[in-house]
Amino acid sequence: MDLLLRNAKVFTPAGPVECDVAVKDGKVTKVAGDLQEQASKVIDLTGKYVFPGLVDGHTHMEFPFMGTVTADDFFHGTRAAVAGGVTTIVDFITPPKGSSLLEAYKTWRSNADPKVISDYGLHMIVREATPATLEEIPTLIGQGVVSFKLFMAYKGELMLTDGEIYRLTKKISENGGVVGVHAENGEVIDELVGEYLRQGKVEPVYHSYTRPEELEVEATNRVATIGSVLGKGVKMYIVHTSTGESVDVMSSYRRKGYKFFNETTPHYLVLNVDALRRPDGHRFVCSPPYRSDEQRTKLWHRLGSGEIFTVGSDHCVYSDQQKRRFKDTVPPFNEIPNGVPGTETILPILFHFGVRKGLISPETMVAVTSYNSARLYGLFPRKGTFSIGSDADFAVLDPNLTVKITPDVLHSNIDYTIYDGVTVTGWNVMTIRRGEVVFQEGQVIGSKGSGSYVPGSNPTV
Ligand code: URP
Ligand code: ZN
Ligand code: ZN
Ligand code: ZN
């Protein structure tokens, strides 16, 4: 054996398993109460909580957006990921306008392969529904890109019309893919942005006024309706859901037999709109915006009940300078690149604010951070499950370690965090990716380029 984990308490969606775990060639090979195997490396995990390595299904490394490119490339971004117990990211290929999707896939592979520390899969953002892009979809699915993101907002940049969404959803579904949707009504948002700017209301908080909850719920209803017209074979999920009502829309379709789901992100669970009123509010601009505490409560409830299917980070990092567009003053809210960091803090935020406070069970936390995401993105059972033959990917949490979050304890390529000063109990202290320790004692030791591309196939939801 290459590795033996002794006295591991491994949390799974079905409950904790107290066991020894043997690993060979990167796979879990034996699990038993007490293993007598010889192994080159033995790690005693007494007192720790072991989770299947997180599958962060929502990251934007090297993402060209709003006139800039995100500050975390695949090296820095996956360095942050593994430090947080994330062993697989699923990143969004973002093809330039007019480009072939397959060419963009090749570009993303060549950007990522030499740099990644975690393993990774890829989603495809589709910004045009031309005959050429539609024709490429089956080939992409064959290359392991089985999930697609369609935008109902960011007019002029990524937004699609309802007709385009219909056409793409049809093509993706006919070929066995999954449709992810950014659900906000971009047409009305643009009207509101114009109104606020004309009144001189330009501070970051007006970002939230121009993207009210109703526009997320309306877009969710609309895209679910479009999907339902195409029948129950459609697999669709709303990315980065910020409202309980959007969850309720998808849940009501699910009760009728549709495979419709929601993802949320940690920042909607713990931050509210006041973040945008801070002196550094520009750093917090992302879409959808943070909501009220009442909405946070609704999201926690739906996460705890299993109605929210996955939690991804929407890791989309800009330096403070990028957020200010390299000016001394903060630009109008509509010019601030949208997105916030998050892959490294999924586990401590969910554990401290969710599990420790009794809002979600550890089993639910495992389901939404690895098991469900691996299934939805077609990475299961290689990823997202603690089973014989699956990749030996683990996050090892010290449930009693209290950490004050500051930029110094994190690994992104920026010098701030949206959780600065927040104290949490429960921190990832070791990450094992395919049987190799890639993070321990605060240090990322996995080498650049040691991560692998994991092609998706056959979403099992
Ligand atoms: O503000 C966000 N969410 N930025 C990243 C792009 C997206 O919409 O996911
Ligand atoms: Zn989005
Ligand atoms: Zn409920
Ligand atoms: Zn995103």
Q: Which numbered atom of ligand 1 lies nearest the CA of 60?
A: 5
Residue 79 and residue 428 in contact, taking contact as beta carbons nearer than 8 Å: no
**Residue 72 shares a structural domain with residue 46:** no
Question: At 151, which CATH number?
Answer: 3.20.20.140
Closest residue by Cα to residue 379 from 460, 277, 308, 261: 460
> According to the model, what pLDDT value does residue 42 have?
98
> According to the model, what pLDDT value does residue 461 have?
95
Closest residue by Cα to residue 362 from 114, 14, 87, 100: 14
**Residue 324 shares a structural domain with residue 289:** yes
Each residue of 124-135: pLDDT tens digit? 999 999 999 999
**Residue 343 shares a structural domain with residue 203:** yes
Tell me which residues have their CB within 5 A of the ion that is ligand 4. 314
Distance 359 CA to ligand 2 centre (A): 26
Is there a domain that residue 413 lies in? no
Q: Between helices 244-255 and 293-304, what is the axis angle to 10°?
A: 30
Model ipTM?
0.93
- From 182, 286, 315, 418, the mutation candidate for ligand 1 (largest count of ligand atoms within 8 A of CB) is 286
**Residue 203 shares a structural domain with residue 137:** yes
Tell me which residues have their CB within 5 A of the ion that is ligand 2. 182
Each residue of 31-90: pLDDT tens digit? 999 999 899 999 999 999 999 999 999 999 999 999 999 999 999 999 999 999 999 999
> According to the model, what pLDDT value does residue 357 have?
98
Distance 288 CA to ligand 1 centre (A): 8
Tell me which residues have their CB within 5 A of the ion that is ligand 3. 305
* Protein residue whose Cα sits closest to atom 5 of ligand 1: 339
Is there a domain that residue 357 lies in? yes
- From 56, 58, 59, 60, the mutation candidate for ligand 1 (largest count of ligand atoms within 8 A of CB) is 60
**Residue 207: domain span:** 53-376
Q: Which numbered atom of ligand 1 lies nearest the CA of 58?
A: 9
> According to the model, what pLDDT value does residue 72 have?
98
**Residue 367 shares a structural domain with residue 394:** no
Total domains in the fold of the chain? 2
**Residue 46 shares a structural domain with residue 138:** no
> According to the model, what pLDDT value does residue 316 have?
98
**Residue 39 shares a structural domain with residue 121:** no
* Protein residue whose Cα sits closest to atom 2 of ligand 1: 339
Q: Which numbered atom of ligand 1 lies nearest the CA of 338?
A: 1
Distance 31 CA to ligand 4 centre (A): 37
CA atoms within 13 A on the CB side of 313: 31
- The two three-digit tokens of residue 196, written as one number: 């606020």
Distance 157 CA to ligand 2 centre (A): 12
Q: How many CB atoms lie within 10 A of CB 69?
A: 17
- How are beta strands 15-24 and 54-59 bridged, if at all? unpaired
**Residue 316 shares a structural domain with residue 177:** yes
- From 150, 338, 418, the mutation candidate for ligand 1 (largest count of ligand atoms within 8 A of CB) is 338
Is there a domain that residue 39 lies in? yes
- pTM to 2 decimals? 0.98
Handedness of CA 196, 243, 61, 156 (dihedral sign): negative
CA 341 centroid distance within chain? 11
- From 61, 208, 287, the mutation candidate for ligand 1 (largest count of ligand atoms within 8 A of CB) is 287
**Residue 433 shares a structural domain with residue 354:** no
Q: Which numbered atom of ligand 1 lies nearest the CA of 158?
A: 8
**Residue 267 shares a structural domain with residue 311:** yes
Distance 316 CA to ligand 4 centre (A): 7
**Residue 64 shares a structural domain with residue 116:** yes
Q: What is the pLDDT along the chain (461 residues), one digit of tens a residue?
A: 999 999 999 999 999 999 999 999 999 999 999 999 899 999 999 999 999 999 999 999 999 999 999 999 999 999 999 999 999 999 999 999 999 999 999 999 999 999 999 999 999 999 999 999 999 999 999 999 999 999 999 999 999 999 999 999 999 999 999 999 999 999 999 999 999 999 999 999 999 999 999 999 999 999 999 999 999 999 999 999 999 999 999 999 999 999 999 999 999 999 999 999 999 999 999 999 999 999 999 999 999 999 999 999 999 999 999 999 999 999 999 999 999 999 999 999 999 999 999 999 999 999 999 999 999 999 999 999 999 999 999 999 999 999 999 999 999 999 999 999 999 999 999 999 999 999 999 999 999 999 999 999 989 99
Distance 32 CA to ligand 1 centre (A): 43
Distance 302 CA to ligand 3 centre (A): 5
Is there a domain that residue 453 lies in? no
Distance 39 CA to ligand 2 centre (A): 45
Q: Which ligand is nearest to the CA of 336?
A: 1
Is there a domain that residue 415 lies in? no
Question: At 15, which CATH number?
Answer: 2.30.40.10
* Protein residue whose Cα sits closest to atom 9 of ligand 1: 314
Bridge partners of 182, per DSSP, are 151
> According to the model, what pLDDT value does residue 7 have?
98
Ligand 1 neighbours, Cβ below 6 Å, are 60, 182, 240, 286-287, 314, 316, 338-339
Is there a domain that residue 461 lies in? no
**Residue 17 shares a structural domain with residue 100:** no
* Protein residue whose Cα sits closest to atom 4 of ligand 1: 339
Is there a domain that residue 110 lies in? yes
Is there a domain that residue 35 lies in? yes
